[in-house]
Structure 1
């Protein structure tokens, strides 16, 4: 089982286009749909309004209980995610026994994966993920997915922005990648789907209830469903710790007896 968990991290990071009591947390109630008429023809203003609800941060430290399901093989793990805005994403997966089985560091130009159980590691340029994901996937997209923010490349006037059922829906195409983001009445992203029909790749991200963080809102749970060919990965994370703008570290060292693989 542990071997499957460590393999899951590599797949999770690449296909993404990657204990104690639960603390009490304030949950923000989603307002009912407003009947007020919205000026849908003011696209730049409406896009700016949606972007203004993004969580501002320099660093973000997340910890959560997660369920990893890779082609029907389920494992309950602890995930730690740390981010330095626009520079680095660090992910650690720990088994229930408290043993770290895998670690990853992603930067805008590189990817490092450490498999502790198999004593192997991968060091590649960021474009390595294009063997498994659409070429429109970049560091900014991954950062937005983990932070619950809008995806920068999609928030432009070339996208379609309409109101459906009283909430905003953003959609469009970026190369071969079709995207669609649904916003709730808090003007936060509640669901994003990415599809590349040509490459048979799809990603769906769903966010749970929002909680106040750093004078903004952050999702208290996150679901990621990915498909690449016949490979399916589902990840459900319930965050037990959310910290913004605190000192964080990104430890990553490769033991001498670990083998580098391609």
Structure 2
């Protein structure tokens, strides 16, 4: 469950669906992960969205072999075997070995998804990002999302009022 300041946007993401409403634009979405996939330009499911929000790699890094190099402040991981249609790139903070950024690009479709993690905090014996910056480019369309965590709780029973207000326009995917 996510809520923007002043409750302008509220979202609920479960393994089966994505639902959110936006008070500024009087619209809502309630459906599959197709909306987020289209917004960010890469195929997403619950596990990938959870990884994105918690500072984990969208794809299992153990599935590929990587060349590792060191730049001034991070380790850079580039796949040994590059694909023409799909490219990945990761940077890792050397102090805590957590992601500093991850990029997924599809050059032929002119798509780029870049996620940056500025710093991390420890909550409930887990290391999680303080801030997540997301840039999604699809041809000439640009989406920028900045997330700052103010409160994070794990494995807690939650009870919150989440109801899409009446009169809001449903977002329909084309």
Q: Given the two structures, how large is their TM-score scaled by the length of structure 2?
A: 0.75
Match of 1:243 in 2: 153
CA distance in 2, matches of 1:250, 1:115: 17
Which residue pairs with 2:20 in the alignment?
113
Of 127, 130, 138, the residue aligned with 1:217 is 127
1:156 aligns with 2:62: yes
Give the SS at the match of 2:162: coil
- Change in CA separation of 1:224 and 1:127 when aligned onto 2, cut-off 3 Å: closer
> CA 1:220/1:246 → structure 2, altered by over 3 Å: closer, same or farther?
same
- Structure 2: gaps spanning 5 or more residues: none
Q: How many residues align?
A: 167
The answer to whether the aligner puts 1:92 opposite 2:3 as a matched pair is yes
Conserved? CA contact 2:121–2:129, under 8 Å: yes
Give, in angstroms, the shift of residue 143 of structure 1: 0.9
1:1-262 superposed matches below 5 A = 90-94=1-5, 98=6, 100-134=7-41, 136-151=43-58, 153-157=59-63, 159-165=64-70, 167=75, 169=77, 171=79, 176-185=85-94, 186-249=96-159, 251-262=161-172
Instruction: Tell me by how many angstroms 1:131 deviates.
Output: 4.1
Q: CA RMSD in A?
A: 2.9
Higher relative contact order (CA 8 A, sep 6+): 1
TM-score, L = length of structure 1: 0.53
Contact 1:136 1:174 in 2 (8 A): no
- Between the aligned partners of 1:201 and 1:124, the Cα distance in structure 2 is 23
